Structure formats: C-alpha cells, structure tokens
Homo-oligomer: A and B are copies of this chain.
C-alpha cells in the first residue's frame, strides 16, 4: 500500500477510534490485499501496524472480525457514494451516481479488492450482514434505472440484467485500475457515466 493510499484510508476511516484500532484496520486491509486473507496472520497485521500481536485482540475479536469490519465499512461507504446523487432528472442522477461509484472503486481499489474477493472467508452471520448491504446497493441501482424507464428517458429490455452490468462494470474498476496508469479516477468516472447512459438507451 502506497503512502497516498494509507493517508486516504486514514482520512476515510477517521471515525474509527482510537487511532490504534484504525491503524490496525488499515494494516489488515494492506495485508489481505497483498497476500490474501488466508495467508495473513494477526501477527503479520500487528507487525505492519507497529504493535504487539496481543494488541490486536484489544480492538478486534479475531482476524475474521478485522475482515468483517473492512467489508462492512467498505460496503457502507460505497453505498453512500452511490446514493449521494439526488435531483429530479433520472439521467443526470444516474450519470452522477455512476461517476461517483466508479471513481470510488479506482481511488479505493485496495480495500475494494479485499471487500469483493474475500467474501468467502466471512462467517455465515457476518456474510448475512454484508449481503443485506449488497442487496441495498443493487436495489439503489435498479430503482434508478426503473425511474429512468418510467420517465421515458431510458429504454431497457431487462432491468435486472442492466442493473447487474452497471454494478459489475463499476466494481471491476478495482481489479484493473493502476495508480500509475494514464486515466485518473475522475476520468474513469466520466467515461463510465457516458457508457452506462448508452447501455441504458438514454
């Protein structure tokens, strides 16, 4: 994880206190992204956070609890980003939502990868909580498309299929995005807003 990404997470997760708990969560995200959840030990995470292995258990019940917190916060934040666009025009609202959601997946690609690829490591109870957040995200996109169809602005033969594709397109930015590449998160956001409006027949 680069210093830029560390600072970004440190600001994004500023309401996680005390700072030691936040530092540990950032260290866990970096370690899971680097070598995968199963190959990471709480000892690795403590070392990366500059703390003792025992200190982890002051703030988190287990390694899985760290993953769950990252997943819960990641899904909640992404959902907030997606639904922050308001206004009466479905086309403008969809463009704004896709711009924000796709850019977020570029900017936060390290956490987004952990959140998306390590779902299988959550306990059934934690997975159930995350699935609720994922359904809300899907519903938010579907309702946005339905609003556009109802107003006559969008022409979509399969609303659920289009919902799936819009979400997938934005989420997969986290896989291919490279900070050294020539497209910035903002560039990707506007490219994708245009492509999604075309997909929706706007």
| CB contact list, A16-48 vs B, under 8 A | 34-39
Cα distance A113–B194 in the bound complex, in angstroms: 28
DSSP class of A's interface residues: helix, strand, loop or mixed? Answer: helix
- Name the B residues within 8 Å of A157 (CB-CB): 194
Does A60 count as interface, using CB distance less than 8 angstroms?
Answer: no
Copies in the complex: 2
Interface size class of A (residues with CB under 8 A): 20 to 34
Contacting residue for A36 out of B38, B116, B158, B183, CB 8 A:
B38
Pairs across A and B, CB under 8 Å, 25 listed? A35-B36, A35-B38, A35-B39, A36-B37, A36-B38, A37-B39, A38-B38, A38-B39, A39-B39, A157-B194, A161-B183, A161-B191, A161-B195, A164-B176, A165-B169, A165-B192, A168-B169, A168-B173, A168-B175, A169-B172, A171-B172, A172-B172, A195-B199, A198-B199, A198-B201
